[in-house]
Chains A and B, each alone.
Chain A
Amino acid sequence: MKSAVVVFPGINRERDMARALKLISGHEPAMIWHAETSLPKDTDLVVVPGGFSYGDYLRCGAIAARAPVMASVRAFAGQGGLVLGVCNGFQILCEGGLLPGVLMRNARLKFICHDVHLRVERSDTPFTRGYNAGQVIRVPIAHGEGNYEADEETLKRLEGEGRVLYRYCSPEGEVSDVSNINGAAHSIAGIVNDRGNVLGMMPHPENHVEDIMGCTDGRGLFAGLVAHLERAA
């Protein structure tokens, strides 16, 4: 799996992401600066990592979403290429119109930085095939604006089309207001676009991929992508 990690000023999770991609795919990802106007040929996966692009000025992800490189990312997604946005990357993809909805201030206003549990809603997608449907995984979150909101019609469509891939839950896999850490609509932690090739998620799977991190539950996401691409090749 050849991946490209897009880097904006103020992003700070790109090296964690690059390390996880290298570890699991065996290939060093290309780091693509925001002012670039093209992606490397043969890119299999574009990752928009987490951080605080442009200092979260205006709205989280708003300015990064209009950076030159995003035109290439949009074109890549338009051709069916796989795009993964994590945390600020999710916010950027929403601001850029690659995913519906918006990430609002956490309902209880606090920046939250600790592990959460996620329920994997289905396993038949490139972004979840490393897991079983219904499996509960533990990954960290670190955000102040992760409260996913969209209008009723959009939420209905996301649910109806099975596009909610990850949901905040209890360690036992129960979804409730208590486990819904940031107040997101329908406890949404991660969604895909209508074509299923663009995933945005607030939690950081790249931070749970090695034993030294205390948990390797995040590996499945990347291993699943590698397996998907190998099968497609």
Chain B
Amino acid sequence: MKARVTVTLKSGILDPQGKAIEGALKSLGVDGVASVRQGKVFDIELAGSDKAKAEAALKDAADKLLANTVIENYRVEVLG
């Protein structure tokens, strides 16, 4: 099973990297960029085919390591 965990900064957390990317996009002349927040994507392959079990394992992984929940939110998707 393929799965994806997306980790993003919580709103209100200053994101200097996102700001730098935003500035670069604007200087490249990319139209209509209002703001940029950067984050991380983890593509994970799981053994087994139990979707509920997979979601629980991914949530565990995100809580224990992939995200720092002080500053980050995460979203878990089992892609099948």
Q: Is B64 an interface residue (CB 8 A)?
A: yes
Q: Which of chain B's residues have a CB closer than 8 A to the CB of A151?
A: 70
Q: Which of chain B's residues have a CB closer than 8 A to the CB of A104?
A: 13-14, 16, 71
**Contact pattern, B 7-41, Cβ under 8 Å of A = 1, otherwise 0:** 00000011011001000000000000000000000
Measured CB to CB, the closest approach of chain A to B57, in angstroms, equals: 16
Contacting residues of chain B (26-73) with chain A, CB-CB under 8 angstroms:
64-66, 68, 70-71
**Contact pattern, A 57-75, Cβ under 8 Å of B = 1, otherwise 0:** 0110011001000000000
Q: Which of chain B's residues have a CB closer than 8 A to the CB of A183?
A: 14
A106-B16, A107-B14 are contacts. A59–B70 as well, Cβ < 8 Å?
Answer: no
CB–CB A105/B17 < 8 A:
yes
Which residue in B14, B16, B64 is a CB contact (below 8 Å) of A66?
A: B64
How far, in angstroms, from A189 to B13 measured CA to CA in the complex?
Answer: 19
Q: Which of chain B's residues have a CB closer than 8 A to the CB of A66?
A: 64-65
**Contact pattern, A 100-124, Cβ under 8 Å of B = 1, otherwise 0:** 1110111111000000000000000
Q: Which of chain B's residues have a CB closer than 8 A to the CB of A44?
A: none
Task: Report the count of interface residues on A (CB-CB < 8 A).
Answer: 20
Task: Report the count of interface residues on B (CB-CB < 8 A).
Answer: 11
**Contact pattern, A 147-159, Cβ under 8 Å of B = 1, otherwise 0:** 1011100000000
How far, in angstroms, from A66 to B66 measured CA to CA in the complex?
Answer: 12
Measured CB to CB, the closest approach of chain A to B43, in angstroms, equals: 15
A101-B70, A104-B71, A150-B70 are contacts. A58–B65 as well, Cβ < 8 Å?
Answer: yes
How far, in angstroms, from A102 to B66 measured CA to CA in the complex?
Answer: 15
How far, in angstroms, from A63 to B68 measured CA to CA in the complex?
Answer: 12
The residue on B at minimum CB distance from A107 is: B16
A109-B20, A149-B14 are contacts. A62–B68 as well, Cβ < 8 Å?
Answer: yes
Q: Give residues in B with beta carbon < 8 Å to A.
A: 13-14, 16-17, 20, 64-66, 68, 70-71
12 A-B pairs with C-beta separation under 8 A = A58-B66, A59-B68, A62-B68, A66-B65, A100-B70, A104-B14, A106-B16, A109-B16, A149-B14, A149-B71, A150-B70, A151-B70
